[in-house]
């Protein structure tokens, strides 16, 4: 049919609710990430610790399985508690960091490099909704391989062990959720902040790695020169470990072995939350000049 014979009418379908419009960016962002086969393969690889943890929990709580495998009480660390879940969350978060460094910058650098951000903001989408849509991609992805698997293992352990184990160790569940969300906030916001200023995915990934791996040696140099411990505030990995040790009630043991009381706990929280706030400010400043006002 010729174009001039077509009759064009206004769209009469269902409208997307205003509160969920950011989810459109999330959906397409996730689809874009998983269009890469290496990225998809590595994401699947991140679930291996979860499967190993499930098998371990089952064997620990099943004497029959232990007898079949020929394992004795001395062959297994049968106390599944704070330290076990702390180690599990740490291992999953280390693998998730690669996901954030790999996929995070690429979601936003193209929008700024190709000057397409103004196309987003010229539609009924605010700066906050744009950022929420982009950050939620990493939030969903990293949550699925960090605190959510750890929480599932917590429930499995509670169900298999019984005897009120759930209520006796409910603080572990809160530590898993809060600790995981803190790590996701730090990695996601830093990856986004460096991406909007560099505008090149490879350079943004390199800069993010530099923030986490080059700043700690600088902090050690500050400690050596000024004879202080405040240089540890530049080591974000250490600060997160310090907060996690407190959340999992492992700070007393860590302090006994040394290395976790170099700076006060309040300073670790202040630094981490300050970095998150600074990253949000950087993102807001970069987006401010590109917003198109709507009537």
pLDDT at 292 over 50: no
Q: What residues have CB less than 8 Å from 283, skipping those under 6 apart?
A: 131, 189, 192, 193, 196
Report CA 238 to chain centroid distance, whole Å.
16
pLDDT confidence of residue 2: 54
Q: What is the mean pLDDT of residues 235-247?
A: 91
Mean pLDDT of 201-210: 84
Q: State how far the Cα of 183 lies from the Cα of 165, in Å rounded to an integer.
A: 27
Instruction: Specify the pLDDT at position 129.
Output: 83
Q: What is the pLDDT of residue 291?
A: 45
Contacts of 245 (CB under 8 A, 6+ apart): 86, 251, 254, 260
Which range in 42-46, 80-84, 104-108, 193-197 is most confidently predicted, on average pLDDT? Answer: 42-46
Residue 5 banded pLDDT, cuts 50, 70, 90: low
Q: Transcribe 161-220 into DSSP letters.
A: H-TTHHHHTHHHHHHHHHHHHHHHHHHHHHHHHHHHHH--HHHHHHHHHHHHHTHHHHHH
Residue 256 pLDDT exceeds 70: no
Q: How far apart are CA 86 and CA 249, in angstroms?
A: 10
pLDDT over threshold 70, residue 131 = yes
In Å, how far are 189, 233, 268, 286 from 274, measured between CA atoms? 12, 11, 10, 18
* Neighbouring C-beta atoms of residue 283, cutoff 10 Å: 23
pLDDT tens string 46-61: 999 999 999 888 888 7
Specify the pLDDT at position 152.
94
Q: What angle do CA 128, 132, 134 make, to 5 degrees?
A: 120
Higher-confidence residue: 109 or 73?
A: 109
Q: What is the mean pLDDT of residues 79-93?
A: 86
**176-180, 210-214, 281-285: lowest mean pLDDT where?**
281-285
- Determine which of 68-82, 84-98, 113-127, 178-192 has the lowest per-residue pLDDT on average: 68-82
DSSP secondary structure of 239-278? HHHHHHHHHTT-HHHHHHHSSS-SS-HHHHHHHHHHHHHH
Pair 234, 267: CB distance under 8 Å: no
Q: Which of 203, 43, 27, 44 is nearest to 109 (CA)?
A: 203
pLDDT digits (tens, 9 = 90+) for 153-194: 999 998 888 788 889 889 999 999 999 999 999 998 998 888
Asked whether the CA dihedral 127, 133, 134, 138 is positive or negative, the reply is positive
Instruction: Look at residue 7 and tell me whether its pLDDT is greater than 90.
Output: no
- Residue 202 and residue 106: Cα distance in Å, rounded? 8
């Amino acid at each position: 049919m010729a174009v001039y014979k077509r009759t064009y009418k206004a769209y009469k379908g269902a409208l997307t609710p205003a509160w969920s419009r950011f989810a459109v960016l999330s959906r397409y962002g996730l689809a874009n990430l998983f269009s890469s086969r290496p990225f998809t393969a590595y994401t699947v690889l991140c679930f291996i610790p979860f499967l190993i943890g499930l098998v371990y929990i089952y064997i620990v709580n099943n004497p029959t399985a232990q007898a079949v495998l020929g394992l004795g009480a001395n062959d297994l660390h049968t106390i599944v508690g704070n330290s076990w879940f702390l180690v599990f969350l740490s291992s999953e978060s280390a693998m998730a960091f690669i996901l954030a460094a790999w996929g995070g910058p690429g979601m936003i650098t193209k929008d700024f490099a190709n000057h397409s951000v103004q196309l987003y903001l010229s539609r009924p989408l605010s700066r906050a909704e744009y950022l929420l849509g982009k950050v939620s991609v990493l939030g969903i992805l990293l949550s699925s391989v960090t605190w959510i698997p750890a929480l599932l293992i917590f429930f499995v352990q509670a169900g298999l062990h019984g005897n009120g184990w759930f209520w006796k160790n409910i603080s572990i569940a809160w530590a898993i959720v809060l600790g995981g969300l803190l790590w996701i906030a730090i990695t996601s916001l830093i990856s986004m902040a460096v991406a909007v200023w560099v505008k090149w995915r490879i350079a943004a990934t390199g800069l993010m790695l530099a923030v986490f791996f080059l700043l700690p040696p600088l902090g050690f140099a500050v400690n050596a020169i000024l004879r202080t411990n405040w240089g540890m505030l530049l080591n974000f990995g250490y600060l997160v470990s310090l907060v996690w040790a407190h959340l999992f009630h492992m700070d007393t043991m860590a302090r006994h072995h040394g290395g976790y009381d170099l700076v006060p706990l309040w300073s670790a929280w202040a630094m981490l939350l300050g970095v998150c706030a600074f990253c949000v400010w950087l993102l807001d400043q970069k987006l401010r000049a590109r917003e198109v006002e709507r009537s």
